[in-house]
């Protein structure tokens, strides 16, 4: 007797169902994708018991002819591809022709459809066991309704793997949300156990898209999101990325689409992580809703039965494009743009979109502006320099060991003097220093609070990255070399990587088996504690090993160095020094976060302050 046998159609379908139908949410995904491929502009989803008892999807798409209804429940039957060329450039969400056959093999399925508005529809049913179909007339408007009851009724072993009703519904709801974000022009509704859960109206304008994102992802996401739309070399990336300060403890608010298909891809995830690596707090996850548009012929969506994964023909190009697009989008978020966004989101709902609130702008420093030239009040040292009484580095030479503008930017304050009198910079003007840690500043919206060490750390770090990219970091020889006691391993590291240290602005000389001479350090780190700085850089280089790996971790080394070169807590700054730091923050990329992803500043608006003291109540 032959040992090799053909599987029965029922068993083959149930095996396929094991790949396609994991839980109720898998069924809803397949049904909604079919409806979207049929041109539906409205989708109504109704479920009971988390979808286990009932799932019903109604659409207003093109419908299915009577002659095709029974065939639609057959395995490998599809209207979406006809030959290999179609498969190599798939432009639809579904194409395998397995979904309905797989679902009907593990549930009781009824498909009702009509291809015109005369109401003369037809219904086909199948109940799993023998896969036999029955066809009967059934009134129905143009479109289709698929009803799936008693999921896994004939495979009790698989039904035992289902979770609680709440858990299964949460998975199902996530599927509906992902698809709602893929098609802004389509209206969606979701009901559970007879109760309306969601109702989203379709629309294609930018405002309607933002409303849909806010409804699905929450208004807090949109309050903290940056919109981008970048096109290059046949690739387009658009959507919204959240500011690093709006990070998440889990990767639960990440939506990425390739040609309208929601995917989870390691290449994409890596590109996004790299774009956020300089600004995201350790262990946190970014939030985003992003859309990548590529030539369908350059991406393979037939990698997995559930179609969650894709394979790009030129993965490196796609990775670099995603990384660079997000990297620049996050870098370009200035304090001014962030404050403008917050102001727009805080506008009362009864204000017209193009109007500002009727509340008068807040005056600076009390009820009236300072008399005379405001620059004298806030930048006395810089004004002296402008009059020729001191040098341009007057602030750096202040008697207090405070903020020192870098040599790469010798006039951080002077640039602000060209602004029109009366113009208030985004981060305002310094009014005090709190506990030697925080700078308090007043701007047009209210009170700005700055963590001076975190802010200066980011400024120093960005300048060091720019200098390193330009060839090397400017070095400053020490008048008296510093002797440093180290381990033999650290001494060997300094001796093995002289070029690496020179590129970073250091000159180290081995003075013995366990000692080094420090002859020069980066100029931008003047005033740093030299011995601890060199120890930390040595530690980084030892950790990353070979020079090839060092090239990939140079930013981590520069971050370590920048931390040492930043103003420390309990350092008293003058008003001029504090204002110089504020102006540098406004001109520095990614200044909203320190090198470790912590926020560098926050705003307490006048409205928020009024609430604290119950003013106007």
The answer to whether 538 and 486 have CB atoms below 8 angstroms apart is yes
Give 24-72 pLDDT, tens digit per residue.
999 999 999 999 999 999 999 999 999 999 999 999 999 999 998 888 8
Residue 552: count of CB within 10 angstroms of its CB: 9
Q: Is the CATH code 3.40.920.10 the one for domain 386-617?
A: no
CB-neighbour burial class of residue 208 (10 A; exposed 0-12, middle 13-18, buried 19+):
middle
User: 406 by DSSP, 3-state: which?
Assistant: coil
In angstroms, the CA 440 to CA 520 distance is 36
Cα 468 to the center of its chain, rounded Å: 27
Pairing, β 42-48 against β 187-192 = parallel
Give 408-427 pLDDT, tens digit per residue.
443 333 337 334 446 899 99
Give 77-133 pLDDT, tens digit per residue.
666 655 666 556 566 676 556 788 889 888 999 999 999 888 889 999 987 556 678
Angle, CA of 115, 119 and 124, to the nearest 5°: 65
CATH number of 206-333: 3.30.230.10, 2.170.150.20, 3.40.50.2020, 1.20.210.10? 3.30.230.10
The answer to whether 121 and 112 have CB atoms below 8 angstroms apart is yes
Torsion of CA 458, 461, 466, 469, to 10 degrees: -140
Question: In this predicted structure, what is the pLDDT of residue 427?
Answer: 95
- The DSSP line for 23-60 is SHHHHHHHHHHHHHHTT-SEEEEEEEGGGTSEEEEEE-
Bigger pLDDT: 369 vs 10: 10
Lay out the sheet containing 507-512: strands in order across: 475-485, 515-522, 507-512
Bigger pLDDT: 612 vs 369: 612
The answer to whether 59 and 42 have CB atoms below 8 angstroms apart is yes
Question: In this predicted structure, what is the pLDDT of residue 102?
Answer: 85
pLDDT band at 575 (very low <50, low <70, confident <90, very high): very high
Biggest distance spanned by C-alpha atoms of the chain: 107
Residues 6+ apart with CB under 8 A from 97: 74, 75, 76, 77, 78, 80
Report for 51-60, 243-252, 466-475, 534-543: range of highest mean pLDDT: 51-60
Domains of the chain: which residue ranges? Answer: 9-200, 206-333, 386-617
Give 599's DSSP letter. B
Q: Looking at the predicted structure, is the pLDDT value of residue 532 above 80? A: yes
Give 219-247 pLDDT, tens digit per residue.
999 988 999 999 999 999 999 999 888 88
Question: In this predicted structure, what is the pLDDT of residue 81?
Answer: 58
User: Has this prediction a pTM greater than 0.85?
Assistant: no
- The DSSP line for 502-542 is HHTT-EEEEEETTEEEEEEEEGGGTTS-HHHHHHHHHHHHH
Smallest CA-to-CA distance from 426 within 333, 359, 338, 364 is with: 338
Q: For 38-147, where are the alpha helices, taking DSSP H only?
A: 66-72, 84-87, 99-104
Question: For the domain 9-200, what is the CATH code?
Answer: 3.30.565.10
Give 435-464 pLDDT, tens digit per residue.
999 999 999 999 999 999 999 999 999 999
Q: Looking at the predicted structure, is the pLDDT value of residue 391 above 60? A: no
Give kind and range of the element (H or E) at residue 232: strand 225-232
Angle, CA of 613, 616 and 617, to the nearest 5°: 80
């Amino acid at each position: 007797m032959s040992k090799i046998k053909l599987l029965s159609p029922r068993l083959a379908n149930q095996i396929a169902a094991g790949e396609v139908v994991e839980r109720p949410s898998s069924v809803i995904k397949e049904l909604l994708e079919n409806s979207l491929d049929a041109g539906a502009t409205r989708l109504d989803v109704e479920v009971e018991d988390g979808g286990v008892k009932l799932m019903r999807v109604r659409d207003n798409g093109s419908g299915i002819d009577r002659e095709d209804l029974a065939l639609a429940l057959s395995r490998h039957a599809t209207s979406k591809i006809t030959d290999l060329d179609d498969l190599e450039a798939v432009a639809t969400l579904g194409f395998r022709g397995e979904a309905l056959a797989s679902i009907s093999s593990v549930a009781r399925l009824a498909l009702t459809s009509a291809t015109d508005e005369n109401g003369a529809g037809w219904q086909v049913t199948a109940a799993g066991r023998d896969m036999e179909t029955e066809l009967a007339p059934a009134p129905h408007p143009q479109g289709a309704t698929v009803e799936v009851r008693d999921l896994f009724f004939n495979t009790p072993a698989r039904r035992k793997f289902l979770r609680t009703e709440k858990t299964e519904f949460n998975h199902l709801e996530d599927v509906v949300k992902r698809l709602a974000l893929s098609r802004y022009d389509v209206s969606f509704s979701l009901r559970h156990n007879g109760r309306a859960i969601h109702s989203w109206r379709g629309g294609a304008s930018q405002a309607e898209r933002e409303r849909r994102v806010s409804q699905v992802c929450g208004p807090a996401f949109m309050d903290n999101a940056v919109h981008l739309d970048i096109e290059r070399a046949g690739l387009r990336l658009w959507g919204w990325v959240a500011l690093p300060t709006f990070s998440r403890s889990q990767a639960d608010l990440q939506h990425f689409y390739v040609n309208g298909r929601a995917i989870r891809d390691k290449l994409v995830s890596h590109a996004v992580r790299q774009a956020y690596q300089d600004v995201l707090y350790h262990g946190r996850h970014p939030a985003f809703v992003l859309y990548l548009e590529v030539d369908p012929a350059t991406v393979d969506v037939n990698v997995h039965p559930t179609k969650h994964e894709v394979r790009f023909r030129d993965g490196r190009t796609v990775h670099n494009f995603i990384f660079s697009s997000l990297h620049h989008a996050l870098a370009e978020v200035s304090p001014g743009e962030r404050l403008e966004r917050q102001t727009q989101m805080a506008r009362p709902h009864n204000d017209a979109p193009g109007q500002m609130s009727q509340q008068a702008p807040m005056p600076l420093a009390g009820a009236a502006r300072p008399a005379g030239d405001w620059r004298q009040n806030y930048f006395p040292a810089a004004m002296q320099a402008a009059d020729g009484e001191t040098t341009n580095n007057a602030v750096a030479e202040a008697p207090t060991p405070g903020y020192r503008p870098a040599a790469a930017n010798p006039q951080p304050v002077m640039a602000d003097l060209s602004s029109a009198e009366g113009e208030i910079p985004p981060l305002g003007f310094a009014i005090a220093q709190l506990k030697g840690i925080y700078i308090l500043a007043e701007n047009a919206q209210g009170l700005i609070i700055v963590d001076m060490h975190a802010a200066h750390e980011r400024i120093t770090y960005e300048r060091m990255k720019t200098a390193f990219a330009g060839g090397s970091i400017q070095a400053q020889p020490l008048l008296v070399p510093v002797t440093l006691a180290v381990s033999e391993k650290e001494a060997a590291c300094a001796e093995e990587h002289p070029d690496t240290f020179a590129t970073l602005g250091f000159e180290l000389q081995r003075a013995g088996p366990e000692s080094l001479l420090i002859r020069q350090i980066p100029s931008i780190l003047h005033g740093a504690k030299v011995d601890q700085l060199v120890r930390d850089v040595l530690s980084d280089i030892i950790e990353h090993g070979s020079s090839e790996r060092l090239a990939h971790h140079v930013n981590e080394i520069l971050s370590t160095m920048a931390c040492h070169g930043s103003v420390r807590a309990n350092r008293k700054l003058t008003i001029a020094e504090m204002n110089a730091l504020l102006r540098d923050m406004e001109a520095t990329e990614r200044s909203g976060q320190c090198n470790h992803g912590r926020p560098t500043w926050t705003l307490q608006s006048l409205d928020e302050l009024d609430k604290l003291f119950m003013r106007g109540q």
